[in-house]
Amino acid sequence: MNISALHAKATRLERELREIRDRIAQVEHDPAAVADDLARNRSYAFSAEALSIDEVVEGCADSLDRYGFCVIDHVIPSSEVDAIREEVKAARITIDRNHQALQELLGGNSLKSLKIGANEEALLTDPATADKVELRPARRVGHPPKVPNDIVWLPRYARHLANPFVTGVARRVLDDHLRIAQLHLRILDCDKPDGTPGGFGAVHRRGRPDTREWHTDWPHDTTAYGRGDPGRNIGCVRQPFPDVAMCLVMIWYLTDVDEDSGGTWVVPGSHRDTRNPRGPSDGITCTAPIPGEIQITAAAGSLYIQDSRSWHASPMHNTSDRDRIAVVNRWCPWWLAVDDYAPHGLNNTVCQPLSRSEYLALPTELQPLMRHLCPEEQDTVQQPLLDRAMEADVWARRAFKRLEEDPDSLAGVNAHIRVALAGSRRED
Ligand SMILES: O=C(O)CCC(=O)C(=O)O
Ligand SMILES: [Fe+2]
């Protein structure tokens, strides 16, 4: 059998195995019953008001591992929520105006359709542009400037972003040195008196509670923002995704959310499923419901956190009488490559920059999470990584000391170490 016939056979067998696994899963458990139970009991949620930081971190890490998501209830105290919601509404107007001004400056129909050539780059870096549009230099030399990070319009919200409950969960799941790589508003309008339906997406697609827009998020967003455009494609990890949490998506709800007022859709356990709702070979229709899906319910001031591999969707309807107001951020470990791609994605939210004075105005505890956004700051690795390197160095030095002092004693000292081959278990 030649190699392409073998590949074809492997693909057929993989599909068959998947179908058999699906059938077993259906017999073994009814995903809808599991989902109903989870939605009713909210066993994914942990309260910042009632529990200690350690309890919340433990509970959330476990829920992220098991379901792919969790909620921290009341992470913003209720006395603060109204003022932050108003701040976000005002920021929306400022941000939209700035995008509009940028679009007019560059003469495009939409920022998404703009082609950035030498003329546009010259306009963006022309000092006279500063009177018309707010732009900041990007960290990467040779990349055009971008609109500033939304955090500059949200000083009140910024005081809560590095909340120790939140950084505790992120550090546990990702690594010690964290970076907030994206931050933007996510507002879902409610139905309007003129008949415009509420919900997410293009108006003509909105309004029904039984449609979806399933996707996974950067760096697991299969269409990678820019699709086939090298100027805008931000990259996507190859399928099947490795079983590593690479990014935590945080959605800060500033209005109550439930089935009719903007609760995020998610499929529990999907972060470990090797298929993807937008995977071309995975047989899933991303606009239709999926058995086992649930919609998050949470009070204003609560935080939804998910692994970026989780299959999820913004609701395409909002029949409540208020817009759903939320701020989204994407947190990643220091080792994930950010923003070296998509230099023409002017309104892409990856690493929107900060000036030095904006960076210095951030709350002290937030600065380490956003330092990489400021081109004038030297972004060195942070203390916990230095501590780890020091520990490793002390351990290695001991061995070299022994090599120098007593080389004959080395021969058998690693005899207890057994390295397993792939597929077998490590022997402790
Ligand atoms: O609007 C939501 O609830 C989900 C938002 C979302 O999918 C995203 O920002 O990646
Ligand atoms: Fe998303």
Q: How far is the CA of 312 from the centre of ligand 2 (A)?
A: 6
Q: Examine the domain organization and report whether 83 and 2 are in the same domain.
A: no
Residue at 227 is within a domain: yes
Q: Is 264 in the pocket of ligand 1 (CB under 6 A)?
A: yes
Q: Examine the domain organization and report whether 166 and 290 are in the same domain.
A: yes
Residue at 100 is within a domain: no
Task: Please state the domain count of the chain.
Answer: 2
Place of tokens 């996707």: 215
Q: Examine the domain organization and report whether 346 and 295 are in the same domain.
A: yes
Q: Examine the domain organization and report whether 74 and 209 are in the same domain.
A: yes
- Rounded Cα gap, residues 208 and 288, in angstroms: 11
Domain of 235, CATH number, reads 2.60.120.620
Instruction: Answer yes or no: are the C-beta atoms of 271 and 220 closer than 8 Å.
Output: no
- Rounded Cα gap, residues 57 and 76, in angstroms: 16
Instruction: Answer yes or no: are the C-beta atoms of 301 and 78 closer than 8 Å.
Output: yes
Q: Is 146 in the pocket of ligand 1 (CB under 6 A)?
A: no
Q: How far is the CA of 411 from the centre of ligand 2 (A)?
A: 54
Q: Examine the domain organization and report whether 163 and 202 are in the same domain.
A: yes
Q: List residues, by chain if needed, whose CB lies under 5 Å from ion ligand 2.
A: 217
**Consecutive 10-residue averages of pLDDT for the chain (428 residues):** 86 87 76 91 97 98 98 98 98 97 88 81 89 93 93 98 98 98 98 96 96 98 94 95 98 98 97 97 97 97 98 98 98 93 88 97 98 96 98 98 98 96 61
Q: Examine the domain organization and report whether 150 and 28 are in the same domain.
A: no
Residue at 399 is within a domain: no
- Rounded Cα gap, residues 221 and 224, in angstroms: 5
Query: Is the whole-model pTM more than 0.85?
Result: yes
- Rounded Cα gap, residues 125 and 347, in angstroms: 16
Q: Is 175 in the pocket of ligand 1 (CB under 6 A)?
A: no
Residue at 409 is within a domain: no
- HSE of 228, CA atoms in CB hemisphere, 13 A: 0
Q: Can you tell me which atom of ligand 1 is nearest the CA of 217?
A: 10
Range of the domain at 214: 42-87+146-379
> Whose alpha carbon is nearest atom 1 of ligand 1?
314
Length of the chain: 428
Q: Is 302 in the pocket of ligand 1 (CB under 6 A)?
A: no
> Whose alpha carbon is nearest atom 5 of ligand 1?
314
Looking at residue 428, what is its pLDDT?
Answer: 46
